[in-house]
Structure 1
Amino acid sequence: MDLFSDRVVVITGSSGNLGRVVADAFYHAGAALALVDLNHNSCDEESVDSGRKFRVAGDLLSSVEADAVIEKIIKHYGRIDVLVNIAGGFVAGAPVHETSRESWEYMLNLNAGTAFNTARAVVSGMRAQGRGWIINTSARAALAGKAGMAAYVASKSAVIRLTETLAEENKREGLNVNCVLPGILDTPLNRLSMPQADFSSWVSPEALADVVLFLASDASRAINGASIPVYGTG
């Protein structure tokens, strides 16, 4: 299937459990990939096709490095059509009164800051070419406060508001900006940390990748600024 054979797709957090699956799905759909991660050593080197896979290392917590990463990709491919922001993470927290400022700022920067830095770097080019797709990754947990998770919940909530704002600012410039809200992903780490859970109710990375590809396709042209729930059956 060559649904994305005319598109350059940037995937951040490309070496993670979800990033690898999303990258594989886009690759098999014909896309040219720019796989972004903190360093090259963490990237999965299997099935490398230099014609359609370009690996770029960079710390997206830094706006300067994020700009440099995007510049390298544009120099390599000439353009960027799709940005999939998967970079981020979860760190178990403490009650607000016991949360350090450093922990608060780290979580906000890791989840919302990286999405802001990369989106900021690609939007002008997408506007100039008159088309573009940005898919951010928030979380089901972003929809309500949860004890001991203030920094994580706030950071993922910020991703939703960032998505809506980008969509509003660019909807008449040919850009579609949406985000996904996954429930618990079925990953080895989550299985290890919750061994008694019903894994069958969780969201598989492959199922979430299907949603991401839909949002990057022409079929999603009427969807903009949306937060798409992907909860599985849990």
Structure 2
Amino acid sequence: MSHRGTEVSTMGTQTGNGGALNGAVIAVAGAAGPAGRATLLRLAEAGAIVVASDADAARLAEAVDAARYAHGGATVTGDTVDLLDLAAARDWAARTEKEFGRIDGLVHLVGGWRGSASFAETDLADWELLEKLLIRTVQHTSLAFYDGLQRSDRGRYVLTTAAGASKPTAGNAAYAASKAAAEAWTLALGDAFRKAAKAEGAEELSSAAVILVVKALVHDAMRAERPNAKFAGFTDVKELAEAVAGVWERPAGEVNGTRLWLTEKP
């Protein structure tokens, strides 16, 4: 994709031993969809211990099994977690850190979309749904994992968002507003990491909150269903997964509180 705002570098991402993700414990929220599957595969390939969650237990099990089988010996676990319940999210974070001794990342891939033909036809029921899926889950995962990520020497909170949040269209008011709110929350998390490091007298940041921006996502099944479609400006889920892994390859101070564009800026 052309014209990135802040370049997303995937140079240096390594497979197996020696990479920045080797031995890292990474939680992935919303792991059962195409983007989640691609991310589980890429993180497992990089040597991470991957702790996946999704509301759909059957699809989650399939995604976890696929990542395990693709990378023999990789530790990939799955758990159905109600991320609309802050206590459940906190319990997930605590269990993860207790079991593996650390937590180095939370990749937020929980999604959802609702739109209308025009601004006047916006259904506020769409907002009520999207507020839960796109904002509340970000609030709960960030609050639940904050302490663990702050303790890590390579903590990363990674949010995937949509370019439409920066340039909303009439029929996407609820969706764009939800994404914009999630971005603002994530940037506030980044400021919390910065202030915590300063208070501790650290010379440099070890934890970061990062936003990956796409126009929309595309995967092989979509291309098969619509062989003549161009999907202009879309980001393939494998490219997204590569960008997620690449976040750990860059210093926390360089990426904290930034939007990394995987599509053209609107």
- TM-score normalised per structure 2: 0.78
Give the structure 2 partner of residue 180 of structure 1.
Answer: 212
Residue 171 of structure 2 is matched in structure 1 by 148
Residues 1:127 and 1:199: Cα distance change in structure 2 (over 3 Å): closer
Q: Which runs of 5+ in 2 are unaligned?
A: 1-14, 198-205
- CA 147–116 in structure 1, closer or farther in 2 if over 3 Å, else same: same
Q: 1:72-98: per-residue Cα shift (whole Å, max 9, x none)? A: 222321221011101121123354544
Structure 2 CA distance for partners of 1:110 and 1:192, relative to 1, 3 Å: farther
Which one of the candidate residues 30, 40, 46 is aligned to 2:47? 30
Deviation of the 1:99 alpha carbon: 3.3
Could you tell me which runs of 5 or more consecutive residues in structure 1 were left unpaired when the two chains were aligned: none
| Matched positions, count | 234
Aligned partner (choices 240, 245, 248) of residue 213 of structure 1: 245
Name the SS of the counterpart of 1:222 in structure 2: helix
2:66 is the counterpart of 1:46: yes
Segment drifting more, 87-96 vs 1-10: 87-96
**What root-mean-square deviation, in Å, do the aligned CA atoms of Structure 1 and Structure 2 show?**
2.6
What percentage of aligned pairs have identical amino acids?
25
Q: Quote the offset at 1:39 in angstroms.
A: 3.5
> 4+ residue runs of structure 1 moved beyond 6 angstroms?
192-195
> 1:9: which partner in 2?
26
TM-score after normalising by structure 1: 0.88
Alignment of 1:45-194 (within 5 A): 45-48=65-68, 52-93=75-116, 95-129=118-152, 131-172=154-195, 173=197, 174-187=206-219, 191=223
Pairwise CA distance, 1:178: 0.8
Matched position secondary structure for 1:33: strand
Deviations 1:87-125 (A, max 9, x none): 121123354544343321210220121111101101112
Contact residue 30 and residue 109 of structure 2 kept, 8 A: yes
Aligned 8 A contact 1:179 1:226 in 2: yes
Any idea what the Cα deviations from partners look like across 1:116-157, whole Å, max 9, x if unmatched?
110110111222345411111111111112111111100111
